[in-house]
Amino acid sequence: MHQAIRRVADALREAERTLIITGAGLSADSGLPTYRGVSGLYNGTTEDGLPIEAALSGPMLQHDPALCWKYLAEIGRACLNGHPNAGHRAIARLQRRHLGCWVLTQNVDGYHLAAGSPQDRLIEIHGTLAPLYCMNCRRLDDVLATRLTGPLPPRCEYCAGVLRPPVVLFEEPLPSAALAQLQAQVARGFDAVLAIGTSASFAYIVEPLLRVQQAGGFTAQIDPMVSELSGQVDVHLMAGASDVLPQLIRHIFPD
C-alpha cells in the first residue's frame, strides 16, 4: 500500500492539470449514507418497497412529493449534522497549493466548499441542497434546517407550492452550466484523474478517465470496494479516503 500511495503522490505532483472525481464514499466518514457499497442504506429497496432510484426521482417529486421528501429530508438532515472529514480537507489543501487541480463531485453535501476548496475549481454536477425554491413561483427559501424538521413536503410561504432543493434527482438531466464547465475543462485536457469513493460508470466520470489514459496520463481510484472503475485505472488504493488522502498530501507536500 505504501508503495502504491507513493506512486499516486508522484503522479499528482508531476501533473500540471489534475481532475479529482468524488462520490458518496468520500463523505461516508462524515457519517453520511451511501447509496451503494459499504454501509449503503439503499442496497435493495426502501422501506416503502421502492428502489431508491424511484423514490428519489423527478417523477416521484411531481407525483408524490411527500414520499420523495421523506428521503430528501433524510439525506438533508444527515448532511446538516455532519462535517467535512480529513479527506475533504486534504483535497482542499491540494487545490490551494496546486492551481491546476479541479474537483468534480457527485455529492450534494457542500463539504468541499466547507473544507476550503476554491469555488471556481469545483463542479457540483448533482447540484446542492440549498437554497430551496418553489416549484410553482420559483421563489427562494433559505431556511433548509427549519424545513427539514417541519411537515413534509415543505411548502412555499407565498403560494403554498412544493419546495425542492436544487439537486439532480434520478431521471432528471444534469445542470447545463455545470455540464458545460466540465466539458470545457475536459476539452482542455488533464494529466491525471483521481476517482474517490465512487463506483458509478456514468459517461461524465468515465470519459475524462479514458481521455487521460488515451493521452498517456495517469489514473487512480481510492475506494475500499472493487467496482467497474477499478479495472480501468493504473492504481486502485483499496482503503478509505480519509485515511489515504492525508498520506498522499504529506508525500506531495512534505513541508
The three grid cell numbers given for residue 2, joined into one nine-digit string:
505504501
Angle of the 241-252 helix axis to the 86-97 helix axis, nearest 10: 30
Residue whose cell numbers read 420523495: 68
Which of 88, 126, 236, 251 is catalytic? The answer is 126
Using CB atoms within 10 A of its CB, is residue 187 exposed (0-12), middle (13-18) or buried (19+)? exposed
Distance CA 9, CA 94 (A): 11
Collect all residues with Cβ–Cβ distance below 8 Å to 112 and sequence separation of at least 6. Answer: 22, 84, 88, 91, 92, 103, 105, 122, 124
Residue 150 near residue 157 (C-beta atoms within 8 A): no
Please name the residues in contact with 131: beta carbons below 8 A apart, sequence gap of 6 or more.
Answer: 140, 141, 142, 144, 166
126 is catalytic: yes
Give the Cα separation of 181 and 176 in Å (integer): 9
Residue type for position 127: G
Backbone phi, psi, residue 57, to 5°: -115, 160
Give Rg (Cα) of the chain: 19
CA 84/CA 91 separation, integer angstroms: 11
Which residues are the active-site residues? 126
